[in-house]
Amino acid sequence: MRSIARRLSSLTHLARPLALTFIGIVLLSLGVAYLFIHFYRTVDGLPPLVSLLTLQFMPRIWRGILLFGLGFGVIFAGIWQLSGMVVIPIAGESPDGELVLGYQRTQTPPRVVVLSGGAGMLILGSMSEHVQRMTCIVPVQDPVEYYYRASGLFHFQNIYYVVPTPVPVQVSALLDDQTRLDIRHIDMRLDVAPRHVDALQLQPADGLTPERIAMTRLALDAIREADAIVLGPGSLFESVLPNFLIDEFRAAVASSSARKIYICNLMTEPGRTTGFGVAEHIRAIKQYAGITPDYVLVNAQRIDPEVYRLYAAAHQSPVYLDPDEYEETAVLPGDQVAQRRVLIEGAMVIEADLASSVIQYTASLDKPIESRAVRVLRHDGQKLTAAILELLRRT
């Protein structure tokens, strides 16, 4: 009843005109009824069909009840359809004396699944206010670690933390120089910073193969019921792709009708995605996930030289959209202006301002008590939420 009342409340400003309309309909109906009675009593030789249509075979009391019920049902159906629009009173007139207002009501907020690590989940935490349900499925290799990283999510509503498998499964990476490392430990090896991941593999315990690793029912149900599946933000090979190494997980996402949205990294990752552009990130998703994202969000914000030098010293470079990667262009549904969007590997790539500069304090291992403030670039939760919700609204 509360949901019905909330929907009908959008007609508050139409209460008076609707009441006048209803009274007018009643008076009109009485006039038609009197004319019909006069016609019925004064004209002789009416065909039997008229008697059938006027329900003469029923007592008058039942005729009245039946017609009253039908009339009430038709009026309620009309009001219910009208309540699907928001009515906004206009205090004054527009300069040109005319106002055109377009509005569309979504039936229910979307259900979103996020595939990321703890930091990525925290960044998207503000999206929980605009969705029916936000299910965060953490990477398979260490659910407890990522759980604690995302512990701040308890401050948000509609967010659920889900592990993909009952037990963790380790993930190893084979680098382009044939070095094999645990995917979580690559950033600890400065000597492999110039390398990139050439292959990603599961290392299941007890002889389990990827085909035999079972998923949790909560993770499967969340994927099947999702309206959107968001990949990232987070490390491509550590946070986004590991779960796709499980056959059942990969098949569930591929068969889902949800929109797949990939949030591309702001920077390359030493030892993981060194030298990667937007196209290489998309190709990795196609290789391991078996899907092509419907949309790829790429940060368009340029960083100043000082911050650029800081990242370059750490073997990182910005992931920008390279014109050489363009394959073709398309128009995003709902664009009022037919702006051409870029297609790469079959995914529609959209550039937008998605990041903000923040101050971060760092300390070295040899001098842990001495820290210095540095300016770094991070995905902005509010900007990402707005971009994702806008995509869902248009599509």
Domain limits at 65?
2-82
Identify whether residues 351 and 300 lie together within a single domain: yes
Handedness of CA 58, 62, 67, 69 (dihedral sign): negative
Q: What is the pLDDT of residue 181?
A: 95
Q: What is the pLDDT of residue 191?
A: 92
Could you give the number of structural domains in the chain? Answer: 2
Identify whether residues 29 and 148 lie together within a single domain: no
pTM of the model: 0.71
CA distance 250 to 356: 33
352 located within any domain: yes
pLDDT digits (tens, 9 = 90+) for 233-259: 999 999 999 999 999 999 999 999 999
Nearest to 379 by CA among 155, 83, 208, 127: 127
CA distance 234 to 149: 12
Identify whether residues 238 and 384 lie together within a single domain: yes
Find tokens 């790829």 and name the residue. Answer: 296
48 located within any domain: yes
49 located within any domain: yes
330 located within any domain: yes
Identify whether residues 74 and 124 lie together within a single domain: no
Identify whether residues 208 and 327 lie together within a single domain: yes
45 located within any domain: yes
Identify whether residues 334 and 204 lie together within a single domain: yes
- Give the containing element (helix H, strand E) for 328: strand 328-331
Q: Which parts of the chain sit beneath pLDDT 70?
A: 1-13, 45-46, 83-107, 143-154, 204-208, 325-340, 360-372, 374, 395
CATH number, residue 194: 3.40.50.10680
The number of C-alpha atoms within 13 Å of 114 and in the hemisphere containing its C-beta is 31
The one-letter amino acid at 22: F
Identify whether residues 255 and 341 lie together within a single domain: yes
Q: What is the pLDDT of residue 283?
A: 96
Identify whether residues 27 and 159 lie together within a single domain: no
Q: What is the pLDDT of residue 341?
A: 75
Identify whether residues 138 and 240 lie together within a single domain: yes
CA 350 to chain CA mean position, Å = 15
Q: What is the pLDDT of residue 59?
A: 84
Q: Which residues of 247-278 are buried (b: 16+ CB within 10 A; e: fewer)?
A: ebbbebbeebebbbbbbbbbbbbbbbbbebbb
Nearest to 226 by CA among 113, 385, 370: 113
Q: What is the pLDDT of residue 365?
A: 47
**Which of the 8 DSSP states describes residue 110?**
-
Identify whether residues 200 and 280 lie together within a single domain: yes
